[in-house]
Amino acid sequence: MGINRLIAAAGGARPVDLLLANARIVDVFSGEVVSNHIAVDDGFIVGFGDYEAKAVVDLGNRFVAPGFIDAHVHIESAMVSVPEFCRAVLPLGTTTLVADPHETANVLGVPGIEYMIEAGRSQPMNFYFTLPSCVPATPMETAGAVLNADAISPLLANDRVLGLAEMMNFPGVIHQDPDPLRKIENTLAASKPVDGHAPGLTGKPLYSYVAAGISSDHECVSAEEAMEKLSCGMHIMIREGTGAKNLEALLSIINPKTAHRLMWCTDDRHPHDILAEGHIDFIIRKAISGGVDPATAIRIGTLNPAQYFGLRHVGAIAPGRRADLVVFSDLSSPRAEQVYVAGVLAAEEGRMLAGIDLREPAVCPSAMRIDPSVLDFSIPATGSKARVIELVPNQIITKSRIMAVTVDDKQQAVSDVSRDLLKIAVVERHTGSGNIGRGFVRGFGFKKGAIASSVAHDSHNLIVVGTTDADMTAAVRGVIETGGGLAAAWDGRVQAHLPLPLAGLMSNEPLDRVRHLMDGLLAAAREMGAKPSDPFMALSFLALPVIPELRITDKGVFDVAGFSHVDLFL
């Protein structure tokens, strides 16, 4: 909006585009609810009260809040494209989000980040990004990219890049490794914040971490941890996602003295939870039900992240701010009935309105470089006992066990369903190297078949677990043929499938369709005898070589305590 038009419209010198009459405005500056009319022109709020308007909408004394902001989210966790993520969360009141494209970057590098930024630029809601700080997470697996400070620093000039994403490498910061420090220094030189990721860090190591210039954290799991980090000057993002739910533990830190330093974030929220519960709106409702003042809960999800990231045009209902608005009837349990984006009614009663343009981005770069002819999951038995990854129910940690292997008449070590001992493998998919790491896992419970996935944190190689080589091959081929995804197979053919052709992580389908296909996969896994409630989730973390005790990468079995690859057989 031109400044001259803004001033003229605000002063009443010309008719405004829209007057939202009879609103109860949630004032996130004062914490009060004020009855008034809201004047909107050219997509921006220009004033309050009586204005001559081209159109008047009577809100019938309903409440109006600023559009909600997610301060830290991985879009890839919802397994849908940027436009489909917009379709899913905008009707829930989320009009701005700050995404960390860490997963896409691990697969596609800088082109992947650029793809996500451009995909967000053309959507009706505000997509902003922070730059992934730790790609790859470790050098112990083959990633799709290595993003050092020189690789990502040019992106700091992009108007959609707000800062540096979660600095997970806190040991590197504390021990003054040059590359993470350069990333931090370059970001601060661009006058942008650096987000943290430092679970459990306390005392002098925490002081070193904060002294480096890191200004937020979303990993707090206790009030004591959060208060120490607040006292060190950090902003705390209270996370309520799918895997990590921290709101209840942190409710006690929310008070008039601390609320201005807090933000809501989802981090990782899966399709089932978004569709069943909501997004930032769900966190606001849960906070209010836990005793948080409604205006404070809304401020934490609007003004606070806007101020933290320097977004002066969103986060509040005030002159000069974009008219991103959420209309609802119950302040004690806000549920979006209407959502305005830049002064245009974009969603009503949980659905995007016809005519709201969700543009498909440019073609995503290829992310599946595997020659199916090289697939070989055989394991020659070079010993009688092997290291076995053992799942821990409802946890992403594993145990390391030593078990006798079952050997066939060809001297091959094979799965043994009677002992819940299955083969597991990781196939490198980024460079076409042909690397395949092979091992054994216990805890899936399959009596037949195999499952495969191109979602395997953090480098997202293709991971598969199964009862026979033939079914493992069928599941992997099913994933390869659609450019990525999840598959379940038995009797040598795919029985259920969720294609994820965008970086092998995201679908072009709507969120409810993804949920439906995921339900089909989980049903197939149950038919196979799966013990975990979501075996695909369990599988997705088994290639992450930073979580104890035993993992597997495309380079083989990995002992986290020793931080090295080890022989499968003893």
pLDDT per residue as tens, the chain (570 positions) = 589 999 999 999 999 999 999 999 999 999 999 999 999 999 999 999 999 999 999 999 999 999 999 999 999 999 999 999 999 999 999 999 999 999 999 999 999 999 999 999 989 999 999 999 999 988 899 999 999 999 999 999 999 999 999 999 999 999 999 999 999 999 999 999 999 999 999 999 999 999 999 999 999 999 999 999 999 999 999 999 998 899 999 999 999 999 999 999 999 999 999 999 999 999 999 999 999 999 999 999 999 999 999 999 999 999 999 999 999 999 999 999 999 999 999 999 999 998 888 877 677 888 899 999 989 999 999 999 999 999 999 888 999 999 999 999 999 999 999 999 999 999 999 999 999 999 999 999 999 999 999 999 999 999 999 999 999 999 999 999 999 999 999 999 999 999 999 999 999 999 999 999 999 999 999 999 999 999 999 999 999 998 899 999 999 999 999 999 999 999
pLDDT of amino acid 1? 56
H or E stretch including 106?
Answer: helix 102-121
**What global pTM score does this model have?**
0.94
Per DSSP bridges, beta strands 485-490 and 450-453 are antiparallel
pLDDT of amino acid 553? 97
Single out the residue of 503, 224, 153 nearest to residue 363, CA to CA.
Answer: 503
pLDDT of amino acid 546? 86
pLDDT of amino acid 120? 95
Q: What are phi and psi of 159, to 5 degrees?
A: -70, -15
Residue 161 CB neighbours (<10 A): 20
Question: Does CATH place domain 1-67+315-349 in 3.40.1670.10?
Answer: no
Single out the residue of 541, 369, 79, 479 nearest to residue 487, CA to CA.
Answer: 479
- Judge if 1-67+315-349 and 69-303 fold alike in CATH terms: no
- State how far the alpha carbon of 306 is from the alpha carbons of 97, 153, 165, 313, 420, in Å: 10, 23, 16, 8, 50
H or E stretch including 470?
Answer: helix 469-481
Residue 363 CB neighbours (<10 A): 8
Q: Which residue intervals of 51-101 are DSSP H helices?
A: 82-89
What would you measure as the largest C-alpha separation in the chain, in angstroms? 90
Burial status of residue 373 (CB atoms within 10 A of its CB: 0-12, 13-18, 19 or more): exposed
Q: How many helices (H) and strands (E) does the chain have?
A: 16, 29
pLDDT of amino acid 83? 95
Residues in the chain: 570
453 within 8 A of 463, measured Cβ to Cβ? yes
Q: Which residue ranges make up each domain of the chain?
A: 1-67+315-349, 69-303, 372-565
Per DSSP bridges, beta strands 44-48 and 94-99 are unpaired
- How many Å apart are CA 244 and CA 266, to the nearest integer? 9
The amino acid sitting at 327 is V
Single out the residue of 365, 329, 338 nearest to residue 483, CA to CA.
Answer: 365
- How many Å apart are CA 361 and CA 103, to the nearest integer? 18
CATH superfamily of 69-303: Metal-dependent hydrolases (3.20.20.140)
Read off the tokens for 209. Answer: 């971490």
- How many Å apart are CA 288 and CA 282, to the nearest integer? 10
- How many Å apart are CA 522 and CA 529, to the nearest integer? 11
- How many Å apart are CA 460 and CA 554, to the nearest integer? 10
The amino acid sitting at 241 is G
